[in-house]
Amino acid sequence: MKLLVFDKEYCQEDGDCITILNKSLKDYSITLTTDSKDAKTLYENSKFDILLIDFTTKEGNEFLNYVMEKDSEQRVITIGYELTHSEIQGCEYCEKNYKRRRLVKPISVVDLYRTVVNFDEMSCDYRNKFNDTKVILKQILCKYSYFDYDELSCEIYSNINGTQVLRQYLDLVNDLNIYKINYQIIDDTSIKVLSF
């Protein structure tokens, strides 16, 4: 089975899930490219069983649209940090018209493995979930290693102080604003989520 991965920013990310996946899937051939022209050339010259595309960059979105114009039946896993649908018309349209699954960065190797191996037997894990604040909050917090979430008190907190924690705290507050999650700042390491 052949996989093509197009992720313009793959080299800048923490972790190397593709190498781990490649070692786990012995009968798979995985090609990674960070260049959009290279991705188009590879796609035109070879048949790939599954494509992984970071659609959140301009080049990634263009490549995804290019692939969908060529073959709407191509199996695609769309990836990216943004907590948005890969199809502007929403999940129902995507499910009816394409063979896509969605994963959110940072990508869990287990989720990636499961999605690749069981692609045809599973539905998209993120179907209609980007309107669910709890799901969005959970995905946001995956990016912040210094912070935990207490579901009972609805508090995001860190038990550590320092420059790195403060940087993450500021980025976290920015993400909460971007995704319109209501919150109240408690102190310089704690935030209370107000409503879902």
Residue type present at position 25: L
**Strand locations in the chain, DSSP E?**
2-6, 29-33, 50-54, 75-80, 99-104, 148-150, 155-157, 183-187, 190-193
Question: What digits encode the pLDDT tens for the residues 45-66?
Answer: 999 999 999 999 999 999 999 9
Q: What is the mean pLDDT of residues 90-119?
A: 91
Instruction: Using the structure block, give the residue that is written with the tokens 């550590």.
Output: 160
Band (126; pLDDT cuts 50, 70, 90): confident
Band (14; pLDDT cuts 50, 70, 90): low
- Give CA–CA dist 160/59, Å, rounded: 38
Q: What end-to-end distance do the CA atoms of the chain give, in Å?
A: 42
Short-list 147, 163, 164, 167, CA closest to 155: 147
User: What does pTM read for this prediction?
Assistant: 0.77
